[in-house]
Amino acid sequence: MLAPFLVAVAVSPFFANSRIERLGTEIRGRTGDLHAYMVDSIQGMREITAFDRGAERSREMTEKGWAYVGHLVRFQKSQALQIGFMEAMMGLGGLAVLTVGIWLVLDGQIARTQLLLASVLGLASFSPVTELARTMKQMMETLAASRRILSIHDEEVPVQDGPGVAPRGGEATAGSLLIDFEDVAFAYTEGDPQALADVTFDIESGQTVAIVGRSGAGKTTVAYLMMRFWDPDRGDIELEGHRLDQLRLDDLRGNMSLVAQDTYLFNDTVRENIRLGRYDATDSEVVEAAKQANAEEFIDSFPDGYDTRVGERGMQLSGGQRQRIAIARAILKNAPVLILDEATSHLDAISEATVRDALNRLKSGRTTVVMAHRLSTIRDADIILVLDRGLVVEQGTHDQLLSRGGLYAQLVSTQMQGQRAAAD
């Protein structure tokens, strides 16, 4: 009489498995969406306030919260039904044992004292089975969370470390080939338009090469492919005669410094944000890098100096100050190849002049690749590459490109007209 109830309790988690697992997956998905929305709202608080979108954002947050609660209630209801079923089976099992025991006592087949013992043993037999069922239920609930974690852990890494190559003997000589793009094509996702299409150019050691073009032409993509944040879909990129995928990532990125247009600063001190360029740098080396980046003046004006915390994403600093911190990082890293990706695009005239002075000091003795919208910043480059829709459409010096009257000349003319209109 007791066996069917014990079996029902033991197998009940398996029947509820699919529903609990599905609900658990939905709950964790909703939790991720809610947390991402909260983080996005906090980081974009200034924009939300500036455009008076607080009420709409709050309403959307409430809707997402209630959507999460709805899934959570269904999940808890499913759990409650399962627990209620097990409790019911335990009660009915105990009642069955007691009923059969009374009938056996009345029939004289067992003594009255044995009835009490049989009832206690019958109810006690549910304890290990119930614990096993609850353990199975918890394991199934955890399975959904584990799958989300493992899906990230098992995601294939698109850029793998190369086997490494023997270091090149001696120092690079001026005019030796350093970086070579050969028929490089790349699209960020399958089906999207190509960010680069059959791009071919080379950079010699010690040169300053500028890459210009309209927004979306592929300038930043070139920088990211050089740093090997992605691999090209087609073609080869070489550094000192070695394909980038043959190099160890640490070796490759150790030879390059990137100063991007959107500098990310961590919620730490000024000192530690500069030391990101080289973690084993001493305090005196950090200070020297800040001096060369023209950052010492504003750092010394802070009450805590180099120990001043810059806030989340460096929000305590201005755009020019953040850029000078980024330049100090690059100076501290002291890499032979410098990549400047729109490093002065968001600055006013005074800040741009200060940052440009620091950049000129940083470029000394290095191979420099400059991506810029402001063409006045790259007129002295050794070679200017003009990108348009992922293609290199022009190549030459500033004077050569102006004389051809092509896209570069159009871009220069448009900017000069804009500057004259602004002055008027």
Over the stretch 47-66, which tens digit does the pLDDT of each residue have?
888 888 888 888 988 988 89
Is 0.85 topped by the overall pTM?
Answer: no
> How many Cα neighbours within 13 Å face the side chain of 121?
9
Task: Give CATH for domain 3-153.
Answer: 1.20.1560.10
- pLDDT score for 239: 87
Sorted by sequence, the CB contacts under 8 Å of residue 299 that are 6+ apart come out as 270, 290, 305, 306, 308
pLDDT at 173: 45
Angle at 260 (CA atoms; ends 257, 266), nearest 5 degrees: 90
Strand ranges of the sheet holding 391-396, from the earlier edge strand across to the other edge? 256-259, 337-341, 367-371, 208-213, 383-388, 391-396
Give mean pLDDT, residues 114-131.
80
- Tell me the C-alpha distance between 271 and 273, whole Å: 5
pLDDT surpasses 70 at 166: no
111 Rama class: left (phi>0) / alpha (psi -120 to 50) / beta: beta
177-423 CATH: 3.40.50.300
**Where are the CATH 3.40.50.300 domain residues in the chain?**
177-423
Higher pLDDT, 322 or 351: 322
Closest among 78, 73, 97, 77 to 6, alpha carbons compared: 97
The band of 170, judged by pLDDT with boundaries at 50, 70 and 90, is: very low
Q: List, by residue range, all CATH 1.20.1560.10 domains of the chain.
A: 3-153
CB 182 within 8 A of CB 236: yes
What is the CB-side half-sphere exposure of residue 328 using CA atoms within 13 A?
Answer: 32
pLDDT of residue 419 exceeding 70: no
* Higher-pLDDT residue of 418, 81: 81
Average pLDDT value for residue range 221-250: 88
Cα angle 388-394-396, degrees, rounded to a multiple of 5:
140
Task: Tell me the average pLDDT across 94-103.
Answer: 84
150-164, 232-246, 278-292, 342-356: segment of lowest average pLDDT = 342-356
Taking a C-beta distance cutoff of 8 angstroms, is the pair 202, 225 a contact?
Answer: no
Mean pLDDT of 283-308: 87
* Selected residue with higher pLDDT from 162 and 322: 322
Query: What was the pLDDT predicted at 174?
Result: 46
- 77-81, 143-147, 210-214: least confident range: 143-147
Predicted local confidence at residue 112, as pLDDT = 80
What's the pLDDT at 247?
87
Share of the chain above pLDDT 70, in %: 87
Q: Which amino acid is at 260?
A: A
The whole-number pLDDT of residue 349 equals 60
- For the CA atoms of the chain, what is the radius of gyration? 34
Q: What is the pLDDT of residue 355?
A: 67
Least confident range from 2-6, 10-14, 298-302: namely 10-14
